[in-house]
Amino acid sequence: MAFKQRYLLAIVLVFLLIAATACSSGNGNNGGNNGAKPDNGAPVNSGGNASEGNAAGDGGNAPEAAIEPLGKYDPPIEVSTVRIINDTYKFAEGDTIDNNVWYKAYEEELGIKIKNDWVVSGDGVGGPGEQKMNVSIASGDLPDIIPVNANQLQQLIEADLVMDMTDVFEKYASPLTKEIMNADGGYAMKSATSGGKLMALPNTGSSMDGAAMIWLRSDWLKKLNLPEPVTMDDVYRIIDAFTNQDPDGNNKKDTVGIALNKDIMGGYAGLDGFFNAFHSYPGIWFKDASGKLVNGSIQPETKAALAKLAEMYKNGQIDKEFGVKDAGKAGESQGAGKNGFSFGQMWNPLWPMVSSKDNDPNAEWQSYPLVSVDDQPARPQVSLAVGGYYAVNKDAKHPEAAVKLMNMFIEKSYGEMADPNKYGNANGLEVFKYAVEIAAPATKNLDAHKAVTAAITSGDASKLNPEQKLYYDKISSWLKKEDGTNERWAYDRVFGETGSFVVIDKYVSDNLLMNNEFFGAPTPTMVSKGSSLKKMELEVFTKIIMGSSPIDDFDKFVKDWNSVGGEAITKEVNEWYQEQQ
């Protein structure tokens, strides 16, 4: 992408390739077949009861047996939605967001014609897409299927503009859809629930896939005769050497020790992993010693991590220009060989590290688990993996169509009839993004890693599903030196025997993931004060790291955070938490 930060969300939609291409986890639970008998194509009320006749023409309510998760409407129906896209949406000649392989499949196989009421490019937080949707919500001018974030969903619920999908989902969702959308223990579905009613379909994903890890240039490590990172002291030595010992060998002091983006947390070159090494968990809610939920941003461990970052910045080990570089710009620097260390995520080889490999064939990257500042293990923080919600307009004539669209995405991505080469990543195009609704299973990528590496070891790929076979073929061709394309190297660095999922597997096996314990709808004070609190946090943390504010300003920040709204939010969060017990 023009390398804005949201490129990453898209890359993690390479990870819906690694979560939608990388997401063909065919487990044999076919959620209905594409040759299903036509089912009731008539309107369904919020209780999910079909009415006004069915495709078979019986003129009455359809019997339960007639309901097919992928049944075709005859005659076809039209369903409206809106689309928020970004620079990573690329199309083959003749295709558009209004006319593509997914929209054609909807019409040909489900009898659903999709109409985009509007399309906006710019999916960042507070960007054009979010602004346009806010205007639509305020005006009440809404399509049948409404893609929203958590705040917007809450607004729709409070305004009584969306339909209760509880019974509709139960009746029309395929077994595979139900399995995948509840694979995280049901947390994603609970996050879309209000008053015990399912008010939207969540765009589910994998929280473990977002866990931070260490990425470093292993060729530089070997060249400088440095040990692999086992302690934070090892990390400090590596970062210092990558800053001061000319790791690229060009006789210039033009490298920085650690990559960082202006948002500090999240995305490529965020410092989530650095904070976690100090047992600090900014931005998430976790239980303290008393059993109450507290916010990680205001804890003493966060102050200790910031103090160390300020020291490193002063010593030139952090990019002096990080304050004006988004994740895309930080990625460009790494691709250009200016950096060899970052706290990143499992998908980083696909971007930006593949660019590093393109520019320098000798570049090698290796992932490692987070290390700790003391004798307690570092626990990577993870949050509920929901990329958004698909609400259904209360006035929609066919609310069940939203469930069928989800059934189709899940079937074509993870079911027995999965075809990732057509519906996932086709000829270098991330066509899975064209789908109106998207969801991914929680363990899909880890399962793919295990299956692929087992197949590589045994030489038997017969048990792999289509998506896993795709990875197997790419990695095998790289290992056998049949294809030296760096894209294949990148897949090996993710799914291969020493890839990033080895780290994820360790986190899961050792029960190290630190989950965000709050997964409910935004509380009232979050809605009114959350953005200003986040802005204040970023400003204070940035100034402390850059040295323009002393570390003790953190204490003032904690007091201000509480007084401006944080104390009220903490109370609301704990009230919600007690209701979950």
Every domain of the chain and the residues it spans = 6-208+385-434, 212-379+523-580
Say if pTM beats, i.e. exceeds, 0.85: no
CATH for 212-379+523-580, options being 3.40.50.150, 3.40.190.10, 3.30.1330.60, 3.50.50.60? 3.40.190.10
**Does 6-208+385-434 match 212-379+523-580 in CATH topology?**
yes
10 Å CB burial of residue 147 (0-12, 13-18, 19+) is buried
Comparing CA positions, the residue from 448, 458, 441, 442 lying closest to residue 501 is 448
List the structure tokens of 39.
């089912």
Chunked mean pLDDT (size 10), the chain, 581 residues: 38 41 37 33 32 34 64 97 92 96 98 98 85 95 96 93 98 96 90 93 94 98 97 98 96 93 92 98 96 98 98 95 90 91 95 94 97 98 93 98 98 89 84 96 94 97 88 95 91 97 97 93 90 96 98 98 98 93 73
In angstroms, the Cα distances linking 466 to 148, 274, 469 are 31, 37, 5
First to last CA, the chain: 43
Read off the DSSP letter of residue 102.
H
> CA quadruple 123, 125, 129, 133: dihedral positive or negative?
positive
The CA distance from 348 to 227, in Å, is: 22
| Tokens 């790494």 -> residue | 334
The model's pLDDT over 76-96, given as tens digits with 9 standing for 90+, comes to 999 999 999 988 899 999 999
The CA distance from 408 to 81, in Å, is: 17
Question: So what's the pLDDT on residue 465?
Answer: 84
The CA distance from 426 to 413, in Å, is: 13
Question: So what's the pLDDT on residue 66?
Answer: 59
Comparing CA positions, the residue from 365, 480, 357, 431 lying closest to residue 102 is 431
Beta bridge partners of 394: none
Comparing CA positions, the residue from 221, 209, 214, 211 lying closest to residue 364 is 221
> CA quadruple 197, 172, 63, 58: dihedral positive or negative?
positive
The CA distance from 309 to 319, in Å, is: 11
Question: So what's the pLDDT on residue 126?
Answer: 77
Question: So what's the pLDDT on residue 213?
Answer: 98
CATH topology of domain 6-208+385-434: D-Maltodextrin-Binding Protein; domain 2 (3.40.190)
The CA distance from 155 to 159, in Å, is: 6
